[in-house]
Protein backbone atom coordinates (compact mmCIF):
# COMPACT_ATOMS: atom_id res chain seq x y z
CA UNK A 1 0.00 0.00 0.00
CA UNK A 2 1.28 3.47 -0.84
CA UNK A 3 0.07 6.83 0.44
CA UNK A 4 0.92 10.41 -0.50
CA UNK A 5 1.10 13.01 2.27
CA UNK A 6 2.93 16.32 2.66
CA UNK A 7 4.71 15.51 5.90
CA UNK A 8 5.61 12.28 7.68
CA UNK A 9 6.39 12.71 11.37
CA UNK A 10 8.16 9.83 13.12
CA UNK A 11 7.11 9.37 16.74
CA UNK A 12 4.04 10.28 18.81
CA UNK A 13 5.64 11.55 22.00
CA UNK A 14 5.81 15.19 23.12
CA UNK A 15 7.67 16.14 19.91
CA UNK A 16 5.61 14.28 17.33
CA UNK A 17 2.26 15.29 18.80
CA UNK A 18 3.12 18.97 18.85
CA UNK A 19 4.67 18.77 15.37
CA UNK A 20 1.41 17.32 14.08
CA UNK A 21 -0.68 20.02 15.73
CA UNK A 22 1.55 22.83 14.51
CA UNK A 23 2.32 21.72 10.95
CA UNK A 24 -1.25 20.65 10.26
CA UNK A 25 -2.20 24.29 10.81
CA UNK A 26 -0.20 25.17 7.67
CA UNK A 27 -2.82 23.29 5.66
CA UNK A 28 -0.45 20.38 5.02
CA UNK A 29 -1.46 16.74 5.22
CA UNK A 30 0.55 15.08 7.98
CA UNK A 31 0.95 11.46 9.01
CA UNK A 32 2.48 10.48 12.33
CA UNK A 33 4.04 7.00 12.41
CA UNK A 34 4.54 5.54 15.88
CA UNK A 35 6.34 2.26 16.62
CA UNK A 36 4.48 1.65 19.88
CA UNK A 37 0.87 0.63 20.20
CA UNK A 38 -0.11 3.94 21.78
CA UNK A 39 0.96 7.57 21.93
CA UNK A 40 3.24 8.99 24.64
CA UNK A 41 6.78 8.11 23.55
CA UNK A 42 9.18 7.99 26.50
CA UNK A 43 6.22 8.27 28.86
CA UNK A 44 4.60 5.23 27.32
CA UNK A 45 7.63 2.96 27.34
CA UNK A 46 9.08 3.92 30.73
CA UNK A 47 6.14 2.89 32.89
CA UNK A 48 8.33 1.20 35.52
CA UNK A 49 7.39 1.71 39.19
CA UNK A 50 8.59 5.09 40.42
CA UNK A 51 9.11 6.63 36.95
CA UNK A 52 8.94 10.37 37.40
CA UNK A 53 10.11 13.46 35.56
CA UNK A 54 13.05 15.44 36.96
CA UNK A 55 11.69 18.76 35.66
CA UNK A 56 8.79 20.41 37.52
CA UNK A 57 5.40 19.58 36.06
CA UNK A 58 4.35 23.20 35.49
CA UNK A 59 7.49 23.66 33.42
CA UNK A 60 7.50 20.25 31.75
CA UNK A 61 4.28 21.02 29.87
CA UNK A 62 3.26 22.64 26.60
CA UNK A 63 3.03 26.42 26.46
CA UNK A 64 1.45 26.79 23.01
CA UNK A 65 -2.13 27.23 24.25
CA UNK A 66 -3.02 29.29 27.30
CA UNK A 67 -6.36 27.51 27.62
CA UNK A 68 -4.55 24.18 27.92
CA UNK A 69 -2.26 25.64 30.57
CA UNK A 70 -5.21 26.87 32.57
CA UNK A 71 -7.41 23.79 32.34
CA UNK A 72 -4.85 21.09 33.17
CA UNK A 73 -4.37 20.42 36.89
CA UNK A 74 -0.93 19.07 37.82
CA UNK A 75 -1.09 17.15 41.07
CA UNK A 76 2.56 16.97 42.13
CA UNK A 77 5.63 19.17 41.89
CA UNK A 78 7.32 16.42 39.83
CA UNK A 79 4.80 14.46 37.83
CA UNK A 80 4.93 10.67 37.82
CA UNK A 81 4.74 8.77 34.53
CA UNK A 82 0.97 8.00 34.67
CA UNK A 83 0.14 11.69 35.13
CA UNK A 84 2.31 12.76 32.20
CA UNK A 85 0.83 10.07 29.98
CA UNK A 86 -2.69 11.18 30.99
CA UNK A 87 -1.71 14.75 30.06
CA UNK A 88 -0.50 13.66 26.61
CA UNK A 89 -3.71 11.68 26.06
CA UNK A 90 -5.69 14.76 27.00
CA UNK A 91 -3.68 16.85 24.53
CA UNK A 92 -4.17 14.26 21.76
CA UNK A 93 -7.89 14.25 22.33
CA UNK A 94 -8.30 17.99 22.77
CA UNK A 95 -6.61 18.81 19.45
CA UNK A 96 -8.01 15.77 17.58
CA UNK A 97 -4.53 14.46 16.89
CA UNK A 98 -5.28 10.75 16.90
CA UNK A 99 -6.88 10.74 13.45
CA UNK A 100 -3.46 11.40 11.91
CA UNK A 101 -1.46 9.02 14.13
CA UNK A 102 -0.81 5.48 13.01
CA UNK A 103 0.44 3.28 15.88
CA UNK A 104 2.22 -0.09 15.53
CA UNK A 105 4.03 1.48 12.59
CA UNK A 106 7.78 1.28 13.10
CA UNK A 107 9.61 3.16 10.34
CA UNK A 108 12.10 0.79 8.75
CA UNK A 109 13.52 3.04 6.07
CA UNK A 110 13.31 6.54 4.61
CA UNK A 111 14.89 7.18 1.21
CA UNK A 112 15.18 10.52 -0.57
CA UNK A 113 14.54 10.72 -4.31
CA UNK A 114 16.43 13.78 -5.50
CA UNK A 115 14.71 13.88 -8.90
CA UNK A 116 11.24 14.03 -7.41
CA UNK A 117 12.34 15.84 -4.20
CA UNK A 118 10.34 13.31 -2.25
CA UNK A 119 10.99 10.99 0.67
CA UNK A 120 9.70 7.43 0.60
CA UNK A 121 9.09 6.19 4.11
CA UNK A 122 8.46 2.49 4.69
CA UNK A 123 6.92 0.60 7.57
CA UNK A 124 6.33 -3.17 7.52
CA UNK A 125 3.08 -2.77 5.58
CA UNK A 126 2.92 0.76 4.15
CA UNK A 127 4.84 3.17 1.89
CA UNK A 128 4.44 6.89 2.32
CA UNK A 129 5.65 9.50 -0.16
CA UNK A 130 6.16 12.93 1.36
CA UNK A 131 7.96 16.22 0.79
CA UNK A 132 9.00 16.72 4.36
CA UNK A 133 10.23 14.23 6.92
CA UNK A 134 10.20 15.26 10.58
CA UNK A 135 11.97 13.01 13.07
CA UNK A 136 10.54 13.18 16.59
CA UNK A 137 11.95 9.84 17.68
CA UNK A 138 13.00 11.02 21.14
CA UNK A 139 16.43 11.11 22.74
CA UNK A 140 16.04 8.20 25.15
CA UNK A 141 14.07 5.66 23.16
CA UNK A 142 16.47 2.85 22.26
CA UNK A 143 17.17 0.75 25.38
CA UNK A 144 20.73 -0.33 26.07
CA UNK A 145 20.90 -4.03 26.94
CA UNK A 146 24.08 -4.95 28.84
CA UNK A 147 26.32 -7.51 27.21
CA UNK A 148 26.32 -9.76 30.28
CA UNK A 149 26.75 -13.43 29.38
CA UNK A 150 23.70 -15.58 30.00
CA UNK A 151 20.95 -12.94 29.75
CA UNK A 152 18.79 -15.40 27.80
CA UNK A 153 19.34 -18.17 30.31
CA UNK A 154 17.42 -16.58 33.18
CA UNK A 155 14.21 -18.49 33.92
CA UNK A 156 12.59 -15.75 36.02
CA UNK A 157 11.22 -12.49 34.67
CA UNK A 158 13.72 -10.21 32.88
CA UNK A 159 12.56 -6.62 32.48
CA UNK A 160 14.10 -3.41 31.09
CA UNK A 161 12.89 -0.18 32.66
CA UNK A 162 12.63 1.38 29.19
CA UNK A 163 10.33 -1.39 27.93
CA UNK A 164 8.17 -1.99 30.95
CA UNK A 165 5.11 -4.19 30.35
CA UNK A 166 1.98 -2.09 29.85
CA UNK A 167 -0.08 -4.27 32.19
CA UNK A 168 2.40 -3.70 35.05
CA UNK A 169 4.25 -6.30 37.09
CA UNK A 170 3.38 -7.52 40.57
CA UNK A 171 6.66 -7.60 42.49
CA UNK A 172 5.07 -8.31 45.87
CA UNK A 173 7.08 -10.81 47.88
CA UNK A 174 9.58 -11.40 45.06
CA UNK A 175 13.37 -11.58 45.13
CA UNK A 176 14.38 -8.80 42.78
CA UNK A 177 17.75 -7.72 41.38
CA UNK A 178 18.26 -4.30 39.78
CA UNK A 179 21.23 -3.74 37.47
CA UNK A 180 22.04 -0.05 37.02
CA UNK A 181 21.81 2.93 39.35
CA UNK A 182 21.20 5.91 37.04
CA UNK A 183 17.90 7.82 37.18
CA UNK A 184 15.80 4.80 36.18
CA UNK A 185 17.49 2.39 38.58
CA UNK A 186 17.36 4.84 41.49
CA UNK A 187 13.66 5.55 40.97
CA UNK A 188 12.68 1.90 40.68
CA UNK A 189 14.83 0.86 43.69
CA UNK A 190 13.38 3.56 45.88
CA UNK A 191 9.82 2.72 44.80
CA UNK A 192 9.78 -1.07 45.09
CA UNK A 193 11.95 -1.62 48.19
CA UNK A 194 8.93 -1.68 50.49
CA UNK A 195 7.03 -4.12 48.31
CA UNK A 196 9.49 -6.84 47.43
CA UNK A 197 10.81 -9.60 49.66
CA UNK A 198 14.51 -9.05 48.91
CA UNK A 199 16.05 -6.34 46.76
CA UNK A 200 19.62 -6.66 45.46
CA UNK A 201 21.06 -3.49 43.96
CA UNK A 202 23.87 -4.25 41.51
CA UNK A 203 25.78 -0.98 41.42
CA UNK A 204 28.73 -0.51 39.07
CA UNK A 205 29.39 3.20 39.59
CA UNK A 206 27.52 5.25 42.20
CA UNK A 207 25.63 8.33 40.99
CA UNK A 208 25.05 11.49 42.98
CA UNK A 209 21.40 11.56 44.06
CA UNK A 210 20.01 14.92 45.14
CA UNK A 211 16.72 15.43 46.94
CA UNK A 212 13.85 16.01 44.55
CA UNK A 213 11.65 17.77 47.08
CA UNK A 214 8.57 16.26 45.52
CA UNK A 215 5.22 17.10 47.13
CA UNK A 216 1.58 17.55 46.24
CA UNK A 217 0.86 20.99 44.75
CA UNK A 218 -1.35 23.26 46.84
CA UNK A 219 -4.23 25.26 45.38
CA UNK A 220 -2.52 28.60 46.10
CA UNK A 221 0.65 27.51 44.36
CA UNK A 222 -1.27 26.33 41.31
CA UNK A 223 -3.18 29.61 41.12
CA UNK A 224 0.01 31.65 41.42
CA UNK A 225 1.72 29.74 38.60
CA UNK A 226 -1.35 29.93 36.37
CA UNK A 227 -1.58 33.68 36.90
CA UNK A 228 2.08 34.10 36.02
CA UNK A 229 2.57 31.52 33.29
CA UNK A 230 3.54 34.00 30.55
CA UNK A 231 6.24 35.62 32.66
CA UNK A 232 7.59 32.24 33.73
CA UNK A 233 7.68 30.85 30.18
CA UNK A 234 9.42 34.01 28.91
CA UNK A 235 12.12 33.56 31.57
CA UNK A 236 12.53 29.87 30.78
CA UNK A 237 12.97 30.59 27.06
CA UNK A 238 15.98 32.78 27.80
CA UNK A 239 17.46 30.63 30.55
CA UNK A 240 20.37 28.20 30.65
CA UNK A 241 18.37 24.98 30.98
CA UNK A 242 14.91 25.98 29.79
CA UNK A 243 13.74 25.90 33.39
CA UNK A 244 12.59 28.42 35.91
CA UNK A 245 15.94 28.37 37.70
CA UNK A 246 19.19 30.25 37.28
CA UNK A 247 22.65 29.78 38.77
CA UNK A 248 23.43 31.92 41.81
CA UNK A 249 25.25 35.20 41.24
CA UNK A 250 28.34 34.32 43.31
CA UNK A 251 31.20 31.86 43.08
CA UNK A 252 31.16 29.06 45.67
CA UNK A 253 34.73 30.11 46.50
CA UNK A 254 34.00 33.72 47.41
CA UNK A 255 31.83 33.02 50.46
CA UNK A 256 32.71 31.70 53.91
CA UNK A 257 32.54 27.97 54.65
CA UNK A 258 29.58 28.56 56.98
CA UNK A 259 27.62 30.59 54.48
CA UNK A 260 28.26 28.03 51.74
CA UNK A 261 27.16 25.13 53.94
CA UNK A 262 23.96 26.95 54.90
CA UNK A 263 23.26 27.66 51.25
CA UNK A 264 23.67 23.96 50.41
CA UNK A 265 21.41 22.99 53.34
CA UNK A 266 18.68 25.27 52.01
CA UNK A 267 19.15 23.95 48.50
CA UNK A 268 18.97 20.37 49.76
CA UNK A 269 15.67 21.14 51.47
CA UNK A 270 14.33 22.90 48.39
CA UNK A 271 15.30 19.92 46.23
CA UNK A 272 15.55 19.56 42.45
CA UNK A 273 18.23 21.52 40.61
CA UNK A 274 18.67 23.96 43.53
CA UNK A 275 21.93 22.43 44.78
CA UNK A 276 23.74 22.61 41.45
CA UNK A 277 22.40 26.12 40.86
CA UNK A 278 23.58 27.40 44.24
CA UNK A 279 26.61 29.15 42.77
CA UNK A 280 27.71 30.27 39.33
CA UNK A 281 30.78 28.05 39.08
CA UNK A 282 29.80 24.59 40.32
CA UNK A 283 29.69 23.24 36.77
CA UNK A 284 32.84 24.96 35.53
CA UNK A 285 35.29 24.93 38.42
CA UNK A 286 36.44 21.67 40.03
CA UNK A 287 37.42 23.36 43.28
CA UNK A 288 33.96 24.91 43.58
CA UNK A 289 32.38 21.62 42.56
CA UNK A 290 34.21 19.79 45.34
CA UNK A 291 32.58 22.01 47.97
CA UNK A 292 29.16 20.78 46.84
CA UNK A 293 30.46 17.20 46.59
CA UNK A 294 31.70 17.45 50.19
CA UNK A 295 28.23 18.51 51.26
CA UNK A 296 26.63 15.60 49.38
CA UNK A 297 29.09 13.16 50.94
CA UNK A 298 28.17 14.42 54.42
CA UNK A 299 24.47 13.96 53.63
CA UNK A 300 24.98 10.40 52.40
CA UNK A 301 26.99 9.54 55.53
CA UNK A 302 24.29 11.10 57.70
CA UNK A 303 21.41 9.20 56.05
CA UNK A 304 22.95 5.77 55.47
CA UNK A 305 23.47 4.03 58.82
CA UNK A 306 26.05 1.44 57.76
CA UNK A 307 29.31 3.37 57.15
CA UNK A 308 30.63 0.79 54.66
CA UNK A 309 27.46 1.03 52.57
CA UNK A 310 27.54 4.82 52.75
CA UNK A 311 31.11 4.83 51.40
CA UNK A 312 30.15 2.47 48.59
CA UNK A 313 27.33 4.84 47.59
CA UNK A 314 29.63 7.86 47.32
CA UNK A 315 31.02 8.61 43.84
CA UNK A 316 34.66 9.57 43.40
CA UNK A 317 34.37 13.33 43.01
CA UNK A 318 37.50 13.61 40.85
CA UNK A 319 36.22 11.18 38.23
CA UNK A 320 32.54 12.01 38.68
CA UNK A 321 32.15 15.63 39.74
CA UNK A 322 28.68 16.69 40.79
CA UNK A 323 26.64 17.32 37.64
CA UNK A 324 29.31 15.77 35.40
CA UNK A 325 26.81 13.03 34.76
CA UNK A 326 23.10 13.70 35.03
CA UNK A 327 22.32 14.46 38.66
CA UNK A 328 19.71 11.97 39.77
CA UNK A 329 16.81 13.25 41.89
CA UNK A 330 15.01 11.13 44.46
CA UNK A 331 13.74 11.73 47.98
CA UNK A 332 14.18 8.25 49.47
CA UNK A 333 17.08 6.59 47.67
CA UNK A 334 19.79 6.72 50.32
CA UNK A 335 17.40 5.81 53.16
CA UNK A 336 16.38 2.72 51.18
CA UNK A 337 19.75 1.20 52.10
CA UNK A 338 18.80 1.22 55.80
CA UNK A 339 16.13 -1.39 55.10
CA UNK A 340 16.82 -5.01 56.13
CA UNK A 341 15.60 -6.38 52.82
CA UNK A 342 17.91 -4.23 50.64
CA UNK A 343 21.45 -5.35 49.78
CA UNK A 344 23.97 -3.26 47.88
CA UNK A 345 26.19 -5.40 45.65
CA UNK A 346 29.25 -3.46 44.60
CA UNK A 347 29.99 -4.75 41.10
CA UNK A 348 32.91 -2.41 40.69
CA UNK A 349 34.74 -4.52 43.27
CA UNK A 350 33.12 -7.80 42.26
CA UNK A 351 31.82 -7.59 38.69
CA UNK A 352 28.82 -9.54 37.48
CA UNK A 353 30.28 -12.63 35.87
CA UNK A 354 27.12 -14.19 34.46
CA UNK A 355 23.37 -14.36 34.49
CA UNK A 356 22.22 -17.93 34.99
CA UNK A 357 18.89 -19.79 35.02
CA UNK A 358 18.56 -18.88 38.71
CA UNK A 359 19.87 -15.36 38.97
CA UNK A 360 23.04 -13.26 38.94
CA UNK A 361 26.58 -14.43 39.70
CA UNK A 362 29.28 -12.03 40.85
CA UNK A 363 32.84 -12.45 42.05
CA UNK A 364 31.56 -12.19 45.65
CA UNK A 365 28.54 -14.47 45.49
CA UNK A 366 25.55 -15.83 43.58
CA UNK A 367 22.08 -14.34 43.94
CA UNK A 368 18.92 -16.37 43.32
CA UNK A 369 16.22 -14.11 41.90
CA UNK A 370 12.62 -14.17 40.69
CA UNK A 371 12.93 -10.92 38.71
CA UNK A 372 15.87 -9.06 37.16
CA UNK A 373 15.28 -5.40 36.34
CA UNK A 374 17.71 -4.03 33.79
CA UNK A 375 18.12 -0.28 34.28
CA UNK A 376 21.12 0.22 32.04
CA UNK A 377 19.86 3.23 30.11
CA UNK A 378 19.73 4.04 26.43
CA UNK A 379 21.65 4.44 23.23
CA UNK A 380 20.87 8.09 23.74
CA UNK A 381 20.15 10.87 21.25
CA UNK A 382 21.40 9.13 18.08
CA UNK A 383 20.54 5.45 18.65
CA UNK A 384 16.98 5.46 17.39
CA UNK A 385 17.63 7.38 14.16
CA UNK A 386 20.61 5.17 13.36
CA UNK A 387 18.44 2.08 13.60
CA UNK A 388 16.33 3.36 10.68
CA UNK A 389 17.75 2.92 7.20
CA UNK A 390 17.72 6.62 6.30
CA UNK A 391 19.29 7.54 2.96
CA UNK A 392 19.60 11.08 1.72
CA UNK A 393 21.05 12.52 -1.48
CA UNK A 394 23.20 10.12 -3.56
CA UNK A 395 22.21 7.25 -1.29
CA UNK A 396 24.17 8.64 1.68
CA UNK A 397 23.12 6.66 4.76
CA UNK A 398 22.81 8.19 8.19
CA UNK A 399 25.06 5.41 9.52
CA UNK A 400 27.84 6.58 7.17
CA UNK A 401 27.14 10.24 7.80
CA UNK A 402 27.42 9.74 11.55
CA UNK A 403 30.19 7.17 11.52
CA UNK A 404 32.46 9.38 13.63
CA UNK A 405 29.64 10.93 15.63
CA UNK A 406 26.59 12.96 14.70
CA UNK A 407 27.02 16.00 12.47
CA UNK A 408 24.11 18.42 12.27
CA UNK A 409 23.37 22.08 11.81
CA UNK A 410 21.73 23.43 14.97
CA UNK A 411 20.71 19.86 15.81
CA UNK A 412 17.78 20.31 13.45
CA UNK A 413 19.02 19.51 9.91
CA UNK A 414 21.88 17.77 8.08
CA UNK A 415 23.90 18.25 4.91
CA UNK A 416 22.97 15.50 2.45
CA UNK A 417 19.46 15.06 3.84
CA UNK A 418 17.17 17.66 2.23
CA UNK A 419 13.80 18.40 3.82
CA UNK A 420 14.58 16.20 6.81
CA UNK A 421 14.17 17.99 10.12
CA UNK A 422 14.97 16.63 13.58
CA UNK A 423 13.11 17.65 16.72
CA UNK A 424 15.71 17.92 19.54
CA UNK A 425 18.36 16.23 17.41
CA UNK A 426 22.05 15.83 18.37
CA UNK A 427 23.79 19.17 18.73
CA UNK A 428 20.74 20.96 20.16
CA UNK A 429 20.16 21.58 23.90
CA UNK A 430 17.82 18.53 24.01
CA UNK A 431 18.67 16.31 26.99
CA UNK A 432 20.49 19.13 28.76
CA UNK A 433 17.36 21.25 28.79
CA UNK A 434 13.68 21.05 29.63
CA UNK A 435 12.71 18.77 26.76
CA UNK A 436 9.17 20.08 26.34
CA UNK A 437 10.34 23.65 25.97
CA UNK A 438 13.03 22.57 23.50
CA UNK A 439 10.53 20.45 21.57
CA UNK A 440 8.23 23.45 21.17
CA UNK A 441 11.06 25.71 20.08
CA UNK A 442 12.24 23.22 17.45
CA UNK A 443 8.79 22.43 16.13
CA UNK A 444 7.96 26.15 15.81
CA UNK A 445 11.24 26.71 13.97
CA UNK A 446 10.67 23.73 11.64
CA UNK A 447 7.07 24.77 10.92
CA UNK A 448 8.25 28.30 10.08
CA UNK A 449 10.91 26.90 7.74
CA UNK A 450 8.39 24.68 5.97
CA UNK A 451 5.89 27.58 5.69
CA UNK A 452 8.68 29.78 4.24
CA UNK A 453 9.53 27.14 1.63
CA UNK A 454 5.92 26.69 0.63
CA UNK A 455 5.40 30.48 0.44
CA UNK A 456 8.45 30.95 -1.78
CA UNK A 457 7.85 27.91 -3.94
CA UNK A 458 11.08 26.18 -2.89
CA UNK A 459 11.28 22.43 -3.32
CA UNK A 460 14.17 21.57 -1.04
CA UNK A 461 16.20 22.89 1.86
CA UNK A 462 19.40 21.30 3.12
CA UNK A 463 21.99 22.39 5.67
CA UNK A 464 25.32 23.33 4.12
CA UNK A 465 28.44 21.41 5.08
CA UNK A 466 30.20 24.56 6.28
CA UNK A 467 27.29 25.52 8.56
CA UNK A 468 27.34 22.01 9.95
CA UNK A 469 31.10 22.01 10.62
CA UNK A 470 30.95 25.41 12.30
CA UNK A 471 28.10 24.23 14.48
CA UNK A 472 29.94 21.05 15.50
CA UNK A 473 32.80 23.26 16.72
CA UNK A 474 30.38 25.41 18.71
CA UNK A 475 28.88 22.35 20.40
CA UNK A 476 32.32 21.22 21.54
CA UNK A 477 33.36 24.72 22.62
CA UNK A 478 30.21 25.14 24.69
CA UNK A 479 30.79 21.86 26.54
CA UNK A 480 34.57 22.10 26.95
CA UNK A 481 34.72 24.47 29.96
CA UNK A 482 32.21 22.42 31.95
CA UNK A 483 32.67 19.41 34.21
CA UNK A 484 30.45 17.44 31.82
CA UNK A 485 33.09 17.46 29.10
CA UNK A 486 35.59 15.13 30.72
CA UNK A 487 33.19 12.95 32.68
CA UNK A 488 32.29 9.55 31.26
CA UNK A 489 28.54 9.53 30.58
CA UNK A 490 25.83 8.87 28.04
CA UNK A 491 26.06 12.57 27.10
CA UNK A 492 29.14 11.53 25.06
CA UNK A 493 27.90 8.10 24.08
CA UNK A 494 30.43 6.52 26.47
CA UNK A 495 27.83 4.06 27.76
CA UNK A 496 27.56 2.20 24.44
CA UNK A 497 30.41 -0.03 23.26
CA UNK A 498 31.77 1.17 19.92
CA UNK A 499 29.73 4.38 19.87
CA UNK A 500 31.86 7.31 18.68
CA UNK A 501 32.59 9.73 21.50
CA UNK A 502 31.15 13.13 20.71
CA UNK A 503 29.32 15.51 23.01
CA UNK A 504 25.69 15.06 22.01
CA UNK A 505 23.97 18.20 23.26
CA UNK A 506 24.53 21.96 23.00
CA UNK A 507 25.44 23.38 26.41
CA UNK A 508 25.64 27.05 25.48
CA UNK A 509 22.24 27.69 27.03
CA UNK A 510 18.68 27.49 25.82
CA UNK A 511 18.43 31.29 25.47
CA UNK A 512 21.57 31.75 23.34
CA UNK A 513 20.61 28.66 21.31
CA UNK A 514 17.20 30.13 20.53
CA UNK A 515 18.94 33.33 19.42
CA UNK A 516 21.11 31.31 16.98
CA UNK A 517 18.04 29.63 15.50
CA UNK A 518 16.12 32.91 15.26
CA UNK A 519 19.08 34.61 13.57
CA UNK A 520 19.25 31.83 10.98
CA UNK A 521 15.58 32.25 10.21
CA UNK A 522 15.63 36.07 10.20
CA UNK A 523 18.54 36.10 7.76
CA UNK A 524 16.67 33.88 5.28
CA UNK A 525 18.44 30.59 6.14
CA UNK A 526 22.01 31.37 5.03
CA UNK A 527 23.22 28.07 6.50
CA UNK A 528 21.05 26.13 4.05
CA UNK A 529 21.13 25.39 0.36
CA UNK A 530 17.68 26.07 -0.97
CA UNK A 531 16.26 25.05 -4.35
P1 LIG B 1 21.87 5.75 32.77
O2 LIG B 1 21.87 7.06 33.43
O3 LIG B 1 22.66 5.56 31.54
O4 LIG B 1 22.30 4.68 33.87
C5 LIG B 1 22.58 3.36 33.50
C6 LIG B 1 23.07 2.58 34.68
O7 LIG B 1 23.30 1.23 34.27
C8 LIG B 1 24.40 3.08 35.24
O9 LIG B 1 24.41 2.91 36.62
C10 LIG B 1 25.41 2.15 34.57
O11 LIG B 1 26.59 1.95 35.29
C12 LIG B 1 24.64 0.85 34.57
N13 LIG B 1 25.12 -0.05 33.53
C14 LIG B 1 25.14 0.17 32.20
N15 LIG B 1 25.63 -0.89 31.55
C16 LIG B 1 25.93 -1.80 32.51
C17 LIG B 1 26.48 -3.10 32.47
N18 LIG B 1 26.82 -3.68 31.33
N19 LIG B 1 26.67 -3.76 33.64
C20 LIG B 1 26.33 -3.16 34.81
N21 LIG B 1 25.80 -1.94 34.91
C22 LIG B 1 25.61 -1.26 33.76
O23 LIG B 1 20.37 5.28 32.37
P24 LIG B 1 18.99 5.63 33.06
O25 LIG B 1 17.93 4.88 32.33
O26 LIG B 1 19.06 5.43 34.52
O27 LIG B 1 18.82 7.16 32.83
C28 LIG B 1 18.91 7.73 31.53
C29 LIG B 1 18.25 9.07 31.52
O30 LIG B 1 16.83 8.87 31.47
C31 LIG B 1 18.43 9.90 32.74
O32 LIG B 1 19.64 10.57 32.79
C33 LIG B 1 17.25 10.81 32.70
O34 LIG B 1 17.49 11.83 31.77
C35 LIG B 1 16.18 9.93 32.15
P36 LIG B 1 27.87 2.91 35.04
O37 LIG B 1 27.50 4.19 35.70
O38 LIG B 1 28.02 3.06 33.54
O39 LIG B 1 29.01 2.20 35.65
Give residue-wise pLDDT tens across range 135-165.
999 999 999 999 999 999 999 999 999 999 9
Q: Which of 459, 463, 464, 397 is nearest to 130 (CA)?
A: 459
Compute, in angstroms, the gap from residue 2 CA to the centroid of ligand 1: 40
Write the CB contacts of 375 (distance below 8 Å, at least 6 apart in sequence).
48, 160, 161, 178, 179, 180, 181, 182, 184, 185, 188
Average pLDDT rounded to a whole number, residues 65-79: 98
- Count of residues for the chain? 531
- 433-474 pLDDT tens trace: 999 999 999 999 999 999 999 999 999 999 999 999 999 999
Q: Taken in order 268, 273, 274, 277, is the CA torsion positive or negative?
A: positive
Compute, in angstroms, the gap from residue 375 CA to the centroid of ligand 1: 6
| Nearest-angstrom CA–CA distance, 514 and 506 | 11
Q: Which of 234, 244, 304, 254 is nearest to 274 (CA)?
A: 244
Look at ligand 1, atom 25, and give the residue with the nearest C-alpha: 377
The dihedral region occupied by 342, where left means phi > 0, alpha psi between -120 and 50, and beta the remainder, is beta
Percentage of the chain exceeding pLDDT 70: 100
Biggest CA-to-CA distance, the chain: 71
**Domain covering 2-142+379-530, topology:** FAD/NAD(P)-binding domain (3.50.50)
Task: Give the bridge partners for 209, in sequence order.
Answer: 328
Confidence at 1, pLDDT banded by 50, 70, 90: confident
Site to substitute for ligand 1 among 163, 200, 204, most atoms within 8 A of C-beta: 204
- 318-340 pLDDT tens trace: 999 999 999 999 999 999 999 99
Compute, in angstroms, the gap from residue 43 CA to the centroid of ligand 1: 18
Residue 326 beta carbon below 6 angstroms from any ligand 1 atom: yes
Domain residue extents for the chain: 2-142+379-530, 151-374
Average pLDDT, the chain: 97
Strand ranges (E), 209-294: 209-210
Compute, in angstroms, the gap from residue 334 CA to the centroid of ligand 1: 17
Amino acid sequence: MSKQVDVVIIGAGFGGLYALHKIRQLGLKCQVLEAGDDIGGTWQWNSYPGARCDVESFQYSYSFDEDLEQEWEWRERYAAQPEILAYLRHVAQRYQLLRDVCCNSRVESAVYDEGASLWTVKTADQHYHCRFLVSAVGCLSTPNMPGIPGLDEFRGQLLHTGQWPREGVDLTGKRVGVIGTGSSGVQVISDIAGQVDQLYVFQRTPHWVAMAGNRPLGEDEKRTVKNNYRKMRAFMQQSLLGMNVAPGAKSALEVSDDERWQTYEKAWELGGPALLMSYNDLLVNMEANKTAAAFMKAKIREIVKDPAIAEALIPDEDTYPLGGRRMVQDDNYYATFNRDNVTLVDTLKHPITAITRRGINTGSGDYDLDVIIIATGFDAVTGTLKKIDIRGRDGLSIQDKWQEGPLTYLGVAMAGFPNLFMVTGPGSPSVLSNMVLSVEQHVDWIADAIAWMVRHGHVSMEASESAETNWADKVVEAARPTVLFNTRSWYHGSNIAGKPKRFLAYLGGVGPYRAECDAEQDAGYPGFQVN
